[in-house]
Each structure stands twice: as C-alpha cells, then as structure tokens.
Structure 1
Amino acid sequence: MRHPFEQLPRSLSPLPGEDLHGFVLRLAHRLDLKPIVLLRHAGLIGQGSHSAPARRMFMLEKDELAAFCATTSMSPQAAQSLTFMPLVDSYPPVAAALLGLRGLSPAPRGIFPVWLLTTSTRYCPSCLAGDGSAIQQRHGGPWKLAWRLAATFACMEHRSFLRTTCPACGLPAQRIRGNSRSLMVEPHADPLHPSQCRNVTDPERGPCGARLATAHLTDNDNPSDDLLNLQHRLLRARPYGTSSSLDPLAGHNRMTDLLVLAALIRATWPLTAHRAPSQSLADALTHDIGRPGPAPSLRISTTAQKRWDSDVFSARGTAALLAISARILNLSLPELRLELRRIIAEIPPLDDAAWGHTWLNLRRDSSPLFRHEVLQLLDQRFPRPLPTHVPLPGFLLIRRRSYSPKAIPQSLPEEWAEIITAPLGHTSGRSPGKTAIRRGLAAHLVQAVTGMSLNDAGTYLGIPPTWMAAWGRFRPLEERLHGHRADLFALFQRLTDHVAEQPTVDYAARRKRFANWTLPESDLQRIVENYPSRRRLSADGSQRGARIRVGFSALVWSRLTGSEWRLAPDLQPLPVEGVAMVDAGVIHQLQGRNPDHQPFYTYLHNVLPDYAAEILEPRHDAPSPKVANGVTIL
C-alpha cells in the first residue's frame, strides 16, 4: 500500500450471502457517498482510477484486502466471503478464473470464464426488499454472491425464480455496458438506493432508477420442489444428488460433468426437450438458445451467441438446461450410456468452434467415469486412425496443484516415470529413449504447475538447450504400442498426485546451492584411505584414478541436486577437447549396474549415499567426525 488508509467513521456488517459490489452500494448509501469515492477510500482502486475492475469479485489480493479491512473494520475472512474465493474448490468456472495455469496460489486474472455472470446479475426482489429490520429498511437487502453464478436460477429463501431484467428499462439488471469489465454500473452516479436500477438507457436522463425490490412476482415465478432441491445441490456442488460428503475435487469434477453435458444438450437441442421439468421451461430454453447476442457470462465476441459451452440468458432457461443435465447424470449406468449414445449420435463435428472449451474441460476436469463414457462414444461417433506418433500436447493441464515446481528434480526418478510409461507398455530398464522421456516428464510437471513454456520449464530445471531440441522422444506417450489407446491426461493426473504425496525437497534451491560443487581431493583421499589396497588409484598422475574421482564427484553432485550426472560441473563442458574426462563404463561401475564390478567400485557405491547425505545435512553440533561404512567424513 502506498499510504495508510483511514478507518471510515461508520461501516456496515455484511449481510448473509452478500457480494462485494452490493456491500459497497449499501455502505456508500449509508455514508451518502458516490460509490467511486468509497472504492478509492477503501483501497479497492487507485486514487486516479475511474472504476473498479470486475476481477475484484474473484478475490481481494493482499494490499486491497488489507486496505479494505482497515477502512471497514472487517475481518479478512469476512471480506473474502464477499468474493468468489471461497468457491474456488467447488465451482469450476471460479477455479478457471483464479487458478488457470498459474500454480499453487489463487490470483485474480483478466480471464472471465463462461458460466460466471460478469456483465449483469440475476436478483430476487424479495431479498432486495430486506428482512424488515431498521438497517435493511434504510439501505435494502443484499445483492447475493450466488446470483452472480450462472448456475443459480432460484432463490431458496423465497422459493422463486430469480429475475434477469429490470421491469422498467427491460435491460439485464446491473448490466456492464460495452467493453468495460467493471465491478459495478455507473459508480460516478449520485447516491442511489442499493436496490435501484443503475442502467443508463438515455445519457441525458441518467440511470433508470426503478426500484428492483418492488418487482411483482407471479405464480409463474415459483419453481417446483424438485427444482429447488436441484438448486440446493448445485450450490453445494452436488449435481448427482449424493447425500454423502464429497471432497472438493469430487464436487469440482461433478459440476464439470454437468456443464459439459449442458453443452451437449445445447448443441443437439431440442433432442432432449422431453426431459425438461415442464413445457414452459423447455420453451424458455428454446427462446434463450435462439436469442441473439452474447450470453451473460461472455464479453463482446462475434461467436458469443453461438457457443454451446456457455450459459443461457434467463433463470427459467437455465433451470431447464441444468435440470435436464442433472436428470441424465442421475440415470443408472446402462440408461446413462443409452442416453449419451443418443445425444452424441446427433452432435456436430468435434472441431466446430462453437464447442468452445467443452473438450478441454471434459479431459481436464470431468469425473473419470463420465469422461470415459463420453470419450468412448466420441471415438465411435468420429472414428480416427490410431497414429503411431502423436506429439505430446503443448500443455498438460491439471487441476490439483498441490506440489511446487521446486519439488521437481531434473532427473525424474524412474519409479515416478513408470506411472506413465508402464501402462503404455514400455519395458523397464535404462535406455536413451527412457532417459529422454524422463527429461520430458520433468519439464511437463514444471510446465503444468507454472504455465511457463516447455523450453522455459527445461531452462528452469537446468536442461541444456541442445537437449531441449530432441522432444521427438516424447511422441510415444499419447497413443502407442499394439494399438492400445491410453488416457494420457488421466495418467498424468496420477503422476501429479504421486508427486504431491512425496516428502518436500527444494531441488531448485539445491541446484543453485551446488551449482559449482566438485568433490574435494581431500575428501576423496580420506575415503580411499579406508580402502588401503586401492590407494594407488587416486594417486597424482593416475589416469584411471582421475576418471574415478570425476565419476564419483558427478554421481555425488547428481544426488545433491536431483540432476543427471552428465550435467555435473566436473564434466562441463563435455567433451573436453574431444576426449571425455570420464566414460560411461566408470559411471556404470560406480552406480552398481555391472554385476561383475570390482570390490573397490562396490565400496564407493555404498559410500556414495552417506557422503551425499552428510553434505546436505552437516552436523555442526557433532563433537567428532562421522563414520559411514567405515569412512571418516569431516
């Protein structure tokens, strides 16, 4: 923060379920301020800014959160509850907005996914009218955060469908005009009651000003008990209707299933119209699908009204679309397969731009069973030849970001790599091909958690640029061997889960710490002195002794940094004047890979892990040198 923010003379307590934009409107009304003045004073925007960005609805970052809490006397938890932040683990579009490809920490980005209402908001007139308390009589009830989610179509408290438009001007409520991505409409307008419509149809006359809290409700605004039950489940990320507890990832996956199926339904409408809760709701969805203009959650786009993966305009149309999707998802498995087969038999080609992110969301975030059933039917509907070489995708997207890129070693452990290579039929053992695959997987693990390019991920790991040019080795990873298909995305998710379960090791710090490390001659001499019969191998001028020293040094460095021994400082640049300082045979002997290797190599092989461990964790409090395998190490 550039300057301390003064506490406001009066504030308000947030109402249950209230969103940030509604809280600002109520507090500005109480203080008789224009919203723009309050936004600046509360630190939500700079002093020279003319509007607050809509991404403030996603979460409040560190400086904005501190300033907002200081001025409003609100706790950080209460302040963040006004944003989408608490929903990041359960509602997929929120995760897309806050996580994307950035990695471990949520952050508001300039991305506005479909199925998030960012250009307008639905509303319940009864909620806006307030509960009759003195404070709500003066400043109105809450604009609720749930209304900003495109999957919300009903008010649970008043058992009514939400309204979408102002009854006076006919425009979507609180509509952000043009290309603006602002938090609220007309923040410079003179103080209005929070429940008044702020839409401007005539610049000379100013905001509409109609009281949205007085909109008349009719019998048609009453959803059935089944729809209210569905709405309750959707708000808890449980479209399948399970009563058991769900972990956040399972809820996220199931909500993705619902939204992917909604895209299939839109693309084939009115094929599934008979599954709508009522004919009137089916008609509402038909009207929404044929409605010109972008969906509420999409910005200015020439294809906005044509995308099947987006939300629809009205609450009633949304209720029909999601109710049909939920009914299909809750069918028994045999019935689900039959219905999916019927739908997929009628869908347009997979490369149609109107699918938007449907297939990406399916592969990345859907539950395993649903993804398997849909992909299997898609393969039957659109058969394709099995290629023998398919390039690995540029980005392997993951949703669980529970590991840090610092925890990825440049030399990926073989048991990690086998999580992917074994199901694809690769034989165990060492080979140049498997070494290249392990390099590639290490780079992809870093790429998936940071979003950086593959080349940048290789640079982060310390992989030489010349090695990065050989990505052809990774082509077998997607579809290969005996005509069997493999779900690379599922295997990669399994790999990331395994990585997240490992003890935390900061390999990035180790690579930096030991960037120039080589084995001291004095340490090697002490090691050799405990094997008297072979001292001559490390004597000055002994070529074989020099090769052993360099090889042992390279393998110790490899253990210290989690990198390939070929990158050890002792071997750089490699080769030296056309003659390598160490050959692979020496390394193989020291690694214990030759069953006939000599006793001295066995001795060094056994000493290596203890010596590396002592370097990593020196015992500064030890009164005497450590003895490992008979070797005195100072």
Structure 2
Amino acid sequence: MTNTPLPRSLDPASGELLAGYLLRLAHRIGIPPLDLAHRCGLTAGTTFPTRHIIRVDDTRAQQTATVCRLGLPEVHALTLATQAPSYPPLHLVYLGRHQSHIDMANDGWVFTSFSRYCPDCLADTADLPGGSVWQGSWRLPHTFVCTRHHRLLDWRCPACQAPAFSNGYRADGRWRPTQLIPSPHSHLHPAQCRYRPGTGRDPACAHRLDHPSATGEGPTEAMVHAQHRLAAAARSGAGQDAESLGRPTSPQRFLNDIRATTLAICSTWPATAEVFTGAGHLDAVAAHAETLNRAPAERAGPQGDGWLARSVDHPPGDPLRAAALMALVVQILDDPGGQKVLAHVLSRLPSSRAGYRRLKRLAPHCSPGMNAAIGESSHLRHGTGVGPPSLFPQPPTHHGLLDPKKIPQIMPYAWAWPLDELDAPARQLRRDAAIRLVQMARGGSRAAAARYLGISPGALQSATVTIRAWQKVPGNAAAYQDALQRIAEIAASATGIEAPSSTRLTTADTG
C-alpha cells in the first residue's frame, strides 16, 4: 500500500459507483483493477470486499482520495449509502437492529451480487476517458427502468447469460463468493462482461454489454411512475415528506411500506390479484410469487431470477418481474383506499409463517396507514372462526344443477359454442367460462374455482386481466351473461341434469 498519488486520474461521473470508477481508472492507466485496489488500501488480498459498495471507512476513503487525486467527499459519493441516503436497508441500524455489511448482502434488498444495466447508457459513455460508466442506482432493487432511454434495464450478459457484473456461478451451479469487481486481474474495458465460466480459471466472457439490444415491450406508465416514486424517496433528504395509503409519512417509512406490501403480495398470492385485476403484467408477479412459495429445499439453491432465495419477501432480480411487482405495490400505496385491501390480504397471512414474523418486525417502522392496515388485518383474522371472507365470492346459483367434477379447464366446443358470438379472445374466454361454471356450481372465489380446476395462478390472472378489460366495453358484460347462462344449460343437459331457465346471473356475478 502506498500513498503516492497516481500520475493521472479521472473525475467521477455523476451517479457512478466505486466499482465502476475503479474499472474506468484502471483501464485508463493500463493496470489490473486489483493492483489499483491495493494502492488505494481497499484490499490486501486477491478479492474486493463487497462492503465498499455500501460505504468506505474514513481511513480507506482518505487513502483512495490521495491515490486517485480526489476530494474526500468525492470518494464517499461513490457509495450507495451516499447516493440513496433515505433507503432504510442501507442504514447501519435497520428495523431496530445493528446490521453488518454481510447482513445487508444476505437480506435481499441490496444488490451486491450483480448489477442491472442499460446498454444504451453504457454505449453513450463508452468513449469517455476510461470507458463506460456504471450507475450506482443500477445496484438497487427499486431501479428497473432507464427513464432516459425509456426502457427496462437488462441484467444478463447476452452471450453467457450470467448476471452482469457478478462473479457468476461455479461449475456445480452455486454462486461464487461475490466481490466488488469480478475477474480483478483482467485487463478489460468497463463495458465487457467479467464472468468466468466453469471453475473460474478460464478467461472472462469479455462480451461487450454496451451494444444496445431489443428488450421487447417498453415499460408501462405505471412502471415508470413507480420508478420515479421509489427513486425520489430513496434520494430524499432530512425533513422531506412522502405519502402512503392516503396519509403523510417519512420517505423511510414509505420505503418500509414498500417492503411490507411486497411481503403481503408474495406471501398470500393470488389474494391481491383478485382485487387489482386491472394491474399490468400480473403473470410476471405470479411467476415471482410462485418461486418464493416453493418448498424451502427447492429455494435453497440458485434461483432463475439470479438470487439465492434468502428471504420470503425479496424483490425479483429480473427487471420485468421487479417492475411489475413494484408497479402493483405503488398502486396499492398510492390508493387512499388501499388500507382496506391490504387488511384483507394480510389477514390471509398465516401466523405460523416466517412472513408473519417479518411483518411484525417491520410494523414499528412503517407508516401510520400501514399500521392501521396491519391492525385491521389482525381483527379480521381473529374476528371469526373460519378466517377472513373470500374476496369476490360467487353464490352457487346452480348448486345441484351442475356437477363441478365434470367441468374441464377449457370447455369443449360442444359446450362453448355460444362464446363464438362474442368478439373476445377465444382461449382466455373459454378458460374464464370454466371458472364461472365452477363458481356457479360450488360458490366461492375465482381463485378457489381455479384451484379446483387445476389452473395455475399465472393462467388465472392472464384470463382475468384479459376478460375483465374486454367486459368494460359497453354491451360485452351483458352478452357474456347470456352466453354463460346458455353454456350452463348445455353443461347441465350434457350431464343429464336440466338447468331451469329462470336461474339467471347478475351483472355483479360476471364482473
């Protein structure tokens, strides 16, 4: 370790993180990043400790400032703690307990294993001295949209499919220990993938990540709004206010509400979806919730979204799933009536589950609106012996007339031909009609009817979102009503039971 300043240096770019800055500087002066880290006193070994992504202690910060010809505030500005001062999971004391940097990494709400990225942003800065700039905000779970280029962020290398800026997977599929800069001995442009395949002795992938790629559809308006809300809260200063569930609160408590609502959604899915049927990309939320709700043994290894599943409420690694989930969360918290929705959803959270214990730990640090929802959920949970009422129940209008055991997931054409007269997506309509028939025969919620038929939550939400949107067109709901009545009569007749024509559905039944 030496205090001798480098012969030349770089000015940090706006929003840049320490890892990206060291990459650019090492590339500019032509030395491996690890050698630069040794000179800055950031490590004495062969790896970069990930704790420097959160904050740098004063001694190392001063050493780095001297070697890199920077001011001390410039070094501290290269950390997440400075860039997101109001983001609670980055605080040394979080949820009433002191946490280490390892706790932060293992909690699942701070990205230290990989980074999302915008290839257009990397391309825009590729010709700067030292090369492309990696934004610090890309490491945080609430950053999933590049508002500058109006696109969802990427997160995997197109060539090797490893999560970007990660130390990657071992040959056996497990994560390698994370570090601030993967492949620290390599001479690479900052925009090149640093994943080492196999045992890690092979050269890094080195694919350029600054080649703009097609990412499919762009972010929805709700996703962009959620991105702005979350980023503004995380960057807010002392004394600033936020709003959650129609009540004023602090940005920190609003962000804790984000976590509590995420917990509510993922731990009780698809209860929330039964209420917010118009939310976008519910299939992406369902896919993430289904991953979290697997058996513990199935979640012990690496997940498809790039995480080791350490907590029941961690946000998705995949930017589309994260954007869909956070858009739904913010939609609930932006709604002054969202408290009642949350209360009903949280009342379904079993008190024996880890999620319930985590919610109790979160509650003292959440907003007044969230605590009111938690209190109401407890009242609902203990108010009756049978638990909370089913959301959107359907009375069994055809009980004893229809045999639910003979209703298939997707109805045969011999039953479903009345749907041909409707201008609607055929497959989703036939699936939705099957769910309706089970409700008519047994009563209960759509979710219960879908489970009875063996329809997955993702398929249920796909049908629900599509058909609910179609029914909003004037005349469609009434026409669907008539078609369902005829289908019920056909189904009853096919099973040897005649349904009386006087038994009718109401508009509320098909809503």
**TM-score of the two chains, using structure 2 as the length reference:** 0.64
Q: What residue identity is the alignment partner of 2:15?
A: G
- Looking at structure 2, the residues matched to 372 and 214 of structure 1 have their Cα atoms a distance apart, in angstroms, of 48
Q: What residue identity is the alignment partner of 1:320?
A: A
Determine which of 10, 19, 22 is the counterpart of 1:21.
19
CA positional deviation for 1:318: 0.7
- Looking at structure 2, the residues matched to 341 and 82 of structure 1 have their Cα atoms a distance apart, in angstroms, of 40
Aligned-residue Cα RMSD (Å) equals 3.1
Q: 2:210 aligned with 1:206, yes or no?
A: no
Residue in 2 that maps onto 1:357: 358
Residue in 2 that maps onto 1:216: 213
Map 1:154-303 to 2 at 5 A: 154-177=145-168, 178=175, 180-188=177-185, 190-202=186-198, 203=200, 205-220=202-217, 222-237=218-233, 245-246=240-241, 250-273=250-273, 275=276, 279=280, 281-291=281-291, 293-294=301-302
Determine which of 23, 29, 32 is the counterpart of 2:30.
32
- Looking at structure 1, the residues matched to 73 and 102 of structure 2 have their Cα atoms a distance apart, in angstroms, of 21
Determine which of 320, 327, 337 is the counterpart of 2:324.
320
CA positional deviation for 1:238: 7.5
Provide closer, same or farther for how the CA distance between residues 91 and 238 of structure 1 changes in structure 2, counting only shifts above 3 A: closer
The CA deviation string for residues 260-313 of structure 1, in whole angstroms up to 9 with x for no partner, is 10110011223333637765x22222333344655699975xx63xx3321112
Provide closer, same or farther for how the CA distance between residues 67 and 93 of structure 1 changes in structure 2, counting only shifts above 3 A: same
CA positional deviation for 1:185: 1.1
Contact 1:116/1:148 (<8 A) preserved: yes
Residue in 2 that maps onto 1:7: 5
Residue in 2 that maps onto 1:408: none
Residue in 2 that maps onto 1:405: none
Residue-pair matches, total: 360
Contact 1:166/1:173 (<8 A) preserved: yes
Q: 2:124 aligned with 1:130, yes or no?
A: yes
Q: Secondary structure at the match of 2:250?
A: helix
Map 1:409-448 to 2 at 5 A: none
Provide closer, same or farther for how the CA distance between residues 60 and 216 of structure 1 changes in structure 2, counting only shifts above 3 A: same
Q: Secondary structure at the match of 2:26?
A: helix
Contact 2:279/2:328 (<8 A) preserved: no
Provide closer, same or farther for how the CA distance between residues 215 and 168 of structure 1 changes in structure 2, counting only shifts above 3 A: farther
The CA deviation string for residues 98-124 of structure 1, in whole angstroms up to 9 with x for no partner, is 89745xxx9856542321111111110
Q: Secondary structure at the match of 1:183?
A: coil
Q: What residue identity is the alignment partner of 2:221?
A: D
Provide closer, same or farther for how the CA distance between residues 329 and 107 of structure 1 changes in structure 2, counting only shifts above 3 A: same
Q: Which runs of 5+ in 1 are unaligned?
A: 385-634
Q: Which runs of 5+ in 2 are unaligned?
A: 169-174, 244-248, 292-298, 385-511
- Looking at structure 1, the residues matched to 67 and 277 of structure 2 have their Cα atoms a distance apart, in angstroms, of 49
Q: What residue identity is the alignment partner of 2:347?
A: A
Identity %: 27
Residue in 2 that maps onto 1:114: 108
Contact 2:123/2:212 (<8 A) preserved: no
Provide closer, same or farther for how the CA distance between residues 97 and 72 of structure 1 changes in structure 2, counting only shifts above 3 A: farther
Q: Secondary structure at the match of 2:128?
A: helix
Task: Pick 1 or 2: higher relative contact order, CA cutoff 8 A, min separation 6.
Answer: 2
The CA deviation string for residues 301-329 of structure 1, in whole angstroms up to 9 with x for no partner, is xx63xx33211121111111111111111
Contact 2:92/2:100 (<8 A) preserved: no
CA positional deviation for 1:247: 8.0
CA positional deviation for 1:216: 0.8
Contact 1:55/1:110 (<8 A) preserved: no
Provide closer, same or farther for how the CA distance between residues 298 and 90 of structure 1 changes in structure 2, counting only shifts above 3 A: farther
